Amino acid sequence: MYARQHRPQSHLGRTGRTPADSTGRMTFTAALAFAVLAVPIIFAGPGEASGGTIADDTAVIVRELPGAGDAPETLVQELGGTVTAQLDIINGFSAVIPADAVSNLVAHPQVDSVTPDASMLLSAWQTSDRSDEGAMQRINANVIQSTQYWKNGFTGAGVGVAIIDSGVAPVDGLTAPGKVVNGADLSFDSQNVNLRYLDLYGHGTHLAGIIAGRDDAAPATPKIRDLQTHYAGVAPGAQILNVKVADGTGTADISQVIAGIDWVVKHRNDQGMNIRVLNLAFGTDGIQDYVLDPLAYAVEMAWRNGIVVVVAAGNDGNSSPLRNPAYDPFVIAVGADDAKGTYGTGDDTIPSFSNCGTATRSVDLVAPGQSVISLRVPGSYVDEFYPSAAVGDRFFRGTGTSQAAAVVSGAVALIVDQRPGITPDQVKTLLTSTARTLRNASDVCQGAGVIDLKAAYKAPTPDEVQTWEQSTGLGSLETARGSYHVVQDGVTLVGEQDIFGIDWDGVSWSGVSWSSGDWTGVSWSGVSWSGVSWSGVSWSGVSWSDDLWASHEWH
């Protein structure tokens, strides 16, 4: 009774090592910028996760039922396995166990689920000898010069940035009234009312801090001197819309991500919100033409509705093509830059993990993505696996194209604050036309270069309209997943169906108005922002590959 399997990509990279190794290992499928998202998606965050197959000895994540005590851990030892870490945040632990003993562990009455672990690149969460080069103080004041906007009164105030990720935790820097608004929770965690919206993984909070974090005690419009004592993200006045798709182990399916994008588009102006930016720190290795791909179609629909979509390129290495949906030419595909904490680009390099793309479709630009210091969720999944990446009690150091995408999302919020009528096409052209070229990087790996907000602030608004062929979304949902799949009770979600067990019909889906409140037959028209979320909709009775969600208790 394997629980959902998470084969991630992330924006961290991947190691191919197991928790038994000194480097550790994690699962996170979708693509949150760290390397999370159980879906065949990848989070660009902490690194990339890959794999998740059962070998002679296999790495697993075990979630226990309440009151289980040490019985499951004791069984692991009796079966010849080893408990590698306690994961209190998800009421469970990680372990390495003989593959032929997994069924015995699954059958234990106090075990809720057993999920195959997937290897993940540690570069995004490792410590660095250059202790402060990735500090937001240096990124804001030196590297991208977002303080040029601040000193002229533009902090992103009145601009909403939607983050489709692993949730956002209420940590200092994200707790000011109205700073974070919880939208839909489409994650597996949503079945437990106590876990909804919360970031048990640690990735979404890290990115939210980069984009719009601001210490409660910091001035609404920080000055450079304030950064000596207070934390501030790129757009400290912007608002965060938290749309959660990945659970505490980073698990999600691509259909959840597409649903999240759809939800953002439909509710972008609800409750006084002004959602103008969408941050996607994930991607799949699906390779079908973007003109057919459902995920590409979803991001294009957001783009056409006035939302600038910023996507992490991926953490598979410089020779790798862009992840889906970064490969869609309409969106802003972001690679990572190691800026060494300085404005000058003479010493900048493109980290080896950052996907560059191809001559046909490469990254649009790059932004700081090496050892970026942002907000930490104590006790979260990544916090438990990468203790050396903690910076004091409040912060965490993360590396990946996820972090780079978050920097750009914050930059877009500043631009929209300055120029409220600017279109997504104009934002993209403004950023690429004012970026600074890196001396030591190829055109494919750097795109237009590293973002420069000082130059963007002074430049006129370009008159630009992209004329790429538009996606129809009529392709295969399964092909969009690539090699990543979720597994529930030993049943792998494959084929043309979503997590509700509803058959995917590209023709009818692509014809949805994106304003009616319906998606693949599931109505969101009764969604309330006050306490009751879309995640409260009952999944009971919804069949998934002959496996009923109602038969499994999501503790």
Vertex 304 angle, CA 184 and 44, to 5°: 55
Whether 165 is catalytic is: yes
Q: Which of 402, 409, 533, 535 is catalytic?
A: 402
Helices 424-434 + 401-418 axis angle, to 10:
110
Contact 203, 382 (CB under 8 A): yes
Assign 327 to helix, strand or coil: coil
d(CA 90, CA 105) in angstroms, rounded, equals: 17
d(CA 178, CA 543) in angstroms, rounded, equals: 38
Closest CA to 403 of 314, 527, 506, 525: 314
Whether 319 is catalytic is: no
The label of the residue with tokens 């890959």 reads 50
Assign 72 to helix, strand or coil: helix
Whether 515 is catalytic is: no
Contact 366, 450 (CB under 8 A): yes
What DSSP state is assigned to residue 318?
Answer: T
Which is it for strands 57-64 and 111-116: parallel, antiparallel or unpaired?
antiparallel
**Burial class of residue 378, CB neighbours in 10 A (0-12, 13-18, 19+):** middle
Strand partners, 83: 95
Length of the chain: 555
Q: Which of 112, 165, 364, 383 is catalytic?
A: 165
Q: Structure tokens of 476?
A: 């295969």
Closest CA to 36 of 183, 249, 184, 228: 249
Closest CA to 315 of 250, 441, 401, 403: 401
Q: Which of 6, 108, 203, 552 is catalytic?
A: 203
Cis? peptide before 325, omega within 30° of 0: yes
First CA to last CA across the chain, in angstroms? 15
Helices 254-266 + 294-304 axis angle, to 10:
10
Contact 117, 5 (CB under 8 A): no
- How many Cβ atoms sit within 10 Å of the Cβ of residue 404? 34
Contact 133, 337 (CB under 8 A): no
Annotated catalytic residues are 165, 203, 402
